[in-house]
Structure 1
Amino acid sequence: MQNSEKLNITCKDGYTLSATFYENTQKNQNLPILICPATGIVQSFYRSFAEWLAEQGYQVMVFDFRGIGASLHGPLKKSQASIQDWGQLDIPAAIDALLVKTQKEQVILVGHSAGGQLLGIAPNYAKVAKVIAISGSTGHVKGLKGRTKQLAPVMFNIIFPISSFFKGYGATKMMGMGENLPKNVAKQWAQFCSRPGYVENALGKTIFEDYHQNITCPISVYWSSDDEIATEANVKDLLRLYPNAKTTMHELVPQDLGHKSIGHMLMFKKSHQNIWSMIEKEIAA
């Protein structure tokens, strides 16, 4: 097991995030890796993957977005966190904290789902040398498939409004979809996925700084053929937001890799470790 250190990250607005830094024993010139979580997924979910990356010679940091896990301060129903905050405040603070910690000039961002969808609204986007988006897409409801295509409208239009009104948060845990969400996160998630473009739907409304056109770093997406959220159509919908970046798409077929399924979540599991070396090659390229 690699050496790990708990860190606190202070965002521009003063909010404190919880993070874990994984040091490697090899002193090399590899750029550090920032793992940005999916919606409602806590940092410990990525521990095995982060430790493995550290063993490959990388310095790695993973954190909890505000309102999630150890970055939730106080009752969930009182959290004012939003997805917009994650992209405009949390990710930028995490990038800067990792650069200060490692004394490097750029990071490689490995983003899972929502964690790989928000760089276009991060003001310090130029400090990211490369993006590896795992199951990265816009999640547009019309591009979903399978059971998720049926569940999403119920979750967005019925469960979230009712649970937010009566409980003060978006109920996701009962559906096996990670931690319960701050009400504003739930509201924006529904809004962002209702039309193509995800965060594009907030531009000019609640988000007034858009950097998508400015981003030129390489962006690679890994998604699975059995992912009901990051479908090919939704992956393409995400990448079109970055017209000046070199983008690549890597579709994984579970059976070709010896797995019954990969879906939206399993790429970070030890049981799917044979995928990790493929991701690391893209990181090192």
Structure 2
Amino acid sequence: METITIRADDGFELAGRRFTPAGKARGVVVLSNAMGVKQDFYIPFAQFLAEQGYAALTFDYRGSGASTPARFKRSLRGFEADLFIWAGRDYNAALRAAKTWQPDVPLLVVGHSLGGQLPGLLPDRQLIDGLVTVASGSGYWKRNAPQVRRFVWFMWYFAVPLYSRLFGYFPGKKVKKVGDLPRGVATQWAQWCKSPHYVVDRKGNPIRAGYDEIRAPILALSFTDDEMMSRWSIDSMHDKYRNAPVDRRYISPQDVQARRVGHFGFFRPEFRETLWQQALEWMEQRAQARAIPVTSGMLRAGGRV
């Protein structure tokens, strides 16, 4: 494991880690985080991928985890970021950093929750050869899983606007929900979650074009006991990728000899021989199909390691 700095196209420095296989990489995998989840959470899975011959890269969005500047460690008041910046600058910079690091192998993405929602907003989405989404669905509150529907209504209509206005950021640690978020991220996320279209522009209009342009195959892994996402949520999100072949797998804990998987369980090492193997086998098929060198000319000017 190697700690690196990823420079976004506006100069912001993101904290990342690279996991290098023993021999030549069979592919390179970008692990993109769920909302409020630090890259540390994905280390066991990244290490597993490296053991299987895949280079892996993790990162933190600006204003979260190790990508929080020192002067904002105690409070994110005044820190500027929103979901378009997280996608268009930070996530995209990680994508480009992975391709620069391993230019001659297929580029795959494993997107957890939010990480599987944002690819349609990435300027360099054409670099993706395959996408694995994990527990990734629309956050539209009326169609969330029943056990959280009442809570998220309060979250989006009262907690986020009130606390963000009072503190200048969303103090998730104080209220024990999600984690601290930049004000722009929290308020935009609330806007999305109040819309049946979910991913919308600042005026509330659905964003479709970027999702229509993604044609790389997608493996959608979702779980019947997900405490946040209903099946409608999962299907609605993946319907946005209407020009991509999507392999939708709705998995129950019993299918993998487990008592629980839920929204976060996939990344627990106990699923190394079951869920991780499913994802690995699919990625190997994609790597074999797309093992074609990509020239540096495909990369636009901008973010770099």
- CA drift of 1:9 comes to 0.7
Please state if 1:60 is matched with 2:56.
yes
Please state if 1:10 is matched with 2:16.
no
- CA drift of 1:242 comes to 1.6
- CA drift of 1:198 comes to 2.2
Q: Report matched runs for 1:178-197 at 5 Å.
A: 178-197=178-197
- CA drift of 1:173 comes to 3.0
CA–CA distance in structure 1, aligned partners of residues 127 and 53 of structure 2 = 20
Please state if 1:88 is matched with 2:93.
no
Which residue of structure 2 aligns with residue 46 of structure 1? 42
Which residue of structure 1 aligns with residue 245 of structure 2? 246
- Give the letter aligned to residue 233 of structure 1: W
Which residue of structure 2 aligns with residue 272 of structure 1? 271
- Give the letter aligned to residue 182 of structure 2: P
CA–CA distance in structure 2, aligned partners of residues 211 and 108 of structure 1 = 18
SS at match of 2:109: strand
CA–CA distance in structure 2, aligned partners of residues 246 and 203 of structure 1 = 29
SS at match of 1:14: coil
**TM-score, length-normalised on structure 2?**
0.86
- Give the letter aligned to residue 37 of structure 1: N
SS at match of 1:21: strand
Cα pair distance change 1:258/1:174, threshold 3 Å = farther
- CA drift of 1:179 comes to 2.5
Out of 20, 33, 39, which is 1:37 matched to?
33
Which residue of structure 1 aligns with residue 19 of structure 2? 22
Please state if 1:256 is matched with 2:266.
no
SS at match of 2:129: strand
CA–CA distance in structure 1, aligned partners of residues 152 and 116 of structure 2 = 20
- CA drift of 1:144 comes to 0.9
* Contact residue 223 and residue 231 of structure 1 kept, 8 A: no
CA–CA distance in structure 1, aligned partners of residues 208 and 195 of structure 2 = 20
Which residue of structure 2 aligns with residue 213 of structure 1? 212
Cα pair distance change 1:149/1:206, threshold 3 Å = closer
Cα pair distance change 1:144/1:42, threshold 3 Å = same
- CA drift of 1:206 comes to 9.2
Which residue of structure 1 aligns with residue 101 of structure 2? 101
SS at match of 1:7: strand
- Give the letter aligned to residue 271 of structure 1: E
CA–CA distance in structure 1, aligned partners of residues 247 and 175 of structure 2 = 32
CA–CA distance in structure 1, aligned partners of residues 2 and 17 of structure 2 = 6
Identity of aligned residues (%): 28
Q: Report matched runs for 1:118-267 at 5 Å.
A: 118-174=118-174, 176-199=176-199, 201-202=200-201, 210-267=209-266
- Give the letter aligned to residue 189 of structure 1: W
- CA drift of 1:143 comes to 1.4
- CA drift of 1:229 comes to 2.3
Q: Number of matched residues? A: 280
CA–CA distance in structure 1, aligned partners of residues 8 and 118 of structure 2 = 16
Task: Describe the superposition over 1:255-281 as per-residue Cα deviations: whole angstroms up to 9, x where unpaired.
Answer: 232222111111101233331111111
Structure 1: stretches of 5+ with no match in the other structure? none
- Give the letter aligned to residue 20 of structure 1: R
* Contact residue 92 and residue 123 of structure 1 kept, 8 A: yes
- Give the letter aligned to residue 63 of structure 1: F
CA–CA distance in structure 2, aligned partners of residues 100 and 37 of structure 1 = 21
- CA drift of 1:250 comes to 0.7
- Give the letter aligned to residue 78 of structure 2: K
Q: What is the alpha-carbon root mean square deviation over aligned residues?
A: 1.9
- Give the letter aligned to residue 27 of structure 1: K
